[in-house]
Structure 1
Amino acid sequence: MTDVDHSALFAAYDTQLRREGEVYPASSVTPLGPLLLATFGTTRGFITYATLDTEDGPATTDSVRELVTGALEHFRSRPEIRQVEWKSRGHDHAPGLHEALVAAGFVPEEAESVMVGDARLLAIDVEVPEGVTVRQVRDEADVRAMMEVAGEIFGDDAETTQAMTDELLTRLREGDPVELWVAAVDGQIVSTGRLEPVDGTEFAGVWGGATRPEFRGRGIYRALTAARARSAIAHGKRWINSDSTEFSRPILERSGLVRVTTTTPYVWKRTAADTD
């Protein structure tokens, strides 16, 4: 990739996938200054933005702290919300954001690489070991089995896994274009992933990529990603994006995708004190 290609990919990501591009299919979205406060399902809050600058000018430590306080109060006042994610990016002008989030009770998770590239780079034939099958799943039993495996690999607690599973099942029942894919060995799911075509953009996201440790390094994740990329192209999408861990980033880089920035999720979880 050339510098021009990198700049074009960065611009496409920053203009198409910030704010509105990230809150579909939220059950509710509330603006707060430059922020969008979204609720997914009934229990999960999400905070995104294109910039932290306000109508009063560029972001300052004080204005950022006020936004954090206001956003958390919005979700804290709704007792059904069990956890909230603030999605930050490494290239944003965000003075004092880390300190403000930590002071408010948000916990930073591991930083991930935002990978972007042409879907055709991933839509290749990948040879997988004998006995491995890659398929799309829609039935409730398959979806629950898939999410249990993903939750186990990611280390999610039972409540988080249940909420995500219920949310995905609701979306499927309502005709949402989200696609759920698995790779199985002898009928047992060993790798999972979602495809999220983003309406009104040229993008489809590949998310939830998780492979059991004992099955890594065999081309299974690449095959699962290739299947999703082919489906993205069938949806008319040009670009693939992914927030990638250090397990998947090298695989996507070898396929030609580019890291355009980093993202760090900060997560707040409700405690008994927040319910009182």
Structure 2
Amino acid sequence: MDTAALDAFDQQLRRDLSPGDGHTAVERTARLTRQVSTIPQGWSGIVWSDLDEDTADAAIAAEVARFRGVAGFEWKHYHHDRPADLPARLLAAGLTAGPDEAVLVAEAAAVPDFAPPAGVTLLDVTDAAGIERAVDVHGDVFGYDVGGLRARLLAQLAAAPDTLDMVLAVAGDVAVSAARTEYYPGTEFAGLWGGGTLEPWRGKGIYKALVSHRARRAQARGARYLQVDALPTSGPILARVGFTRLTTTTPYTFG
């Protein structure tokens, strides 16, 4: 599965990426694919490159000149990208490396079903109020400013609701965890994002329940693969439910 999945991932979610949510443009050259947000709070970046020792520096310089000062710009470097010293060249151009993330993939149909723990219910988000509630959970869990995420998801819900699934785990009236799925039209993939759980509720199986819930919804939507950029906290859990590592990605941003 690894080779076929990696080839599909590189082609469908990187080189031939679809704009998807209605608020992004995708620009392709022979050497690069970039996603460019058409709204201020959106994400822009390089999602695929095919460079070599002779073309890398000029390509990097052109992208730095274009995107310097653009909030949310990121060069997503994958560790199988060429040339081998691309990370050093990105650093030399003034970009800053973020933490490594494991790119994990599973066949949606192979993910087992996990029920949430007693007292916890999973609720599918269908409106702006639900988005607000889910984003607030992300802010509490991850401790960063969620203003940009809030604006982007609300815009996505309004413009392209079929590209987004969001789910809340609630205990009584309290939202204790939130996660989302992003769909990429014309591909075999659905991306799992978020999955943050409030500290007192961790270790109870909520994250696994959110993964299986989203797997069933993705299956119903025709997605073959589930893809996650996983931090060390979630990677081991995902490995236990059938995800395998394709590659590693590192974000490079303006410092």
Residue 86 (structure 2) aligned to one of 97, 101, 112: 97
Structure 1 SS opposite 2:26: strand
Calculate the aligned-residue CA RMSD, in Å: 2.0
Name the CA distance, whole Å, in 2 between partners of 1:113 and 1:253. 11
Shift of 1:208: 1.7
Given that 2:102 and 2:249 are in contact with CA atoms closer than 8 Å, whether structure 1 keeps it comes out as yes
Residue 238 (structure 2) aligned to one of 223, 242, 252: 252
In the alignment, residue 126 of structure 2 is paired with which amino acid?
Answer: R
Given that 1:192 and 1:211 are in contact with CA atoms closer than 8 Å, whether structure 2 keeps it comes out as yes
Structure 1 SS opposite 2:195: strand
Given that 1:117 and 1:240 are in contact with CA atoms closer than 8 Å, whether structure 2 keeps it comes out as yes
Shift of 1:23: 4.6
* Alignment CA distance shift 1:153-1:187 (3 Å): same
Name the CA distance, whole Å, in 1 between partners of 2:72 and 2:185. 26
- What corresponds to 2:24 in structure 1? 27
Name the CA distance, whole Å, in 2 between partners of 1:83 and 1:175. 21
Any runs of at least 4 consecutive aligned residues in structure 1 with deviations exceeding 6 A, and if so which?
none
**1:138 aligned onto 2:138:** no
Residue 6 (structure 1) aligned to one of 2, 5, 15: 2
Name the CA distance, whole Å, in 2 between partners of 1:7 and 1:33. 23
Shift of 1:169: 0.8
Given that 1:135 and 1:181 are in contact with CA atoms closer than 8 Å, whether structure 2 keeps it comes out as yes
Given that 1:179 and 1:195 are in contact with CA atoms closer than 8 Å, whether structure 2 keeps it comes out as yes
- What corresponds to 1:16 in structure 2? 12
Shift of 1:259: 0.4
Q: How does 1:205-224 map onto structure 2 within 5 Å?
A: 205-224=191-210
Q: Deviation string for 1:99-129 (max 9, x for gaps)? A: 23223332211111111111022251x2322
Shift of 1:195: 0.9
Name the CA distance, whole Å, in 2 between partners of 1:222 and 1:213. 15
**1:72 aligned onto 2:64:** yes
* Alignment CA distance shift 1:206-1:8 (3 Å): same
- What corresponds to 2:152 in structure 1? 167
Name the CA distance, whole Å, in 2 between partners of 1:263 and 1:72. 19
- What corresponds to 2:71 in structure 1? 82
Percentage of identical aligned residues: 33
Name the CA distance, whole Å, in 1 between partners of 2:33 and 2:3. 26
Shift of 1:212: 2.1
Name the CA distance, whole Å, in 1 between partners of 2:121 and 2:2. 34
* Alignment CA distance shift 1:64-1:245 (3 Å): same
Name the CA distance, whole Å, in 1 between partners of 2:199 and 2:98. 20
State the TM-score, normalized to the length of structure 1: 0.83
Given that 2:102 and 2:235 are in contact with CA atoms closer than 8 Å, whether structure 1 keeps it comes out as yes
Name the CA distance, whole Å, in 1 between partners of 2:181 and 2:101. 18
* Alignment CA distance shift 1:101-1:153 (3 Å): farther
Moved more, 197-206 or 209-218: 209-218
**1:268 aligned onto 2:254:** yes
Q: Deviation string for 1:203-246 (max 9, x for gaps)? A: 11111221223322111001111111111011011111111111
Name the CA distance, whole Å, in 2 between partners of 1:245 and 1:185. 26
- What corresponds to 1:274 in structure 2? none
State the TM-score, normalized to the length of structure 2: 0.89
Given that 2:169 and 2:175 are in contact with CA atoms closer than 8 Å, whether structure 1 keeps it comes out as yes
Name the CA distance, whole Å, in 2 between partners of 1:190 and 1:94. 43
Name the CA distance, whole Å, in 2 between partners of 1:263 and 1:64. 18
- What corresponds to 1:152 in structure 2? 140
- Runs of 5+ in structure 1 lacking a partner? 54-58, 270-276
Q: How many correspondences in the alignment? A: 251
- Runs of 5+ in structure 2 lacking a partner? none
Given that 2:116 and 2:122 are in contact with CA atoms closer than 8 Å, whether structure 1 keeps it comes out as no
Q: Deviation string for 1:28-80 (max 9, x for gaps)? A: 2334552223223324322111x323xxxxx01x522222211121123xx6x
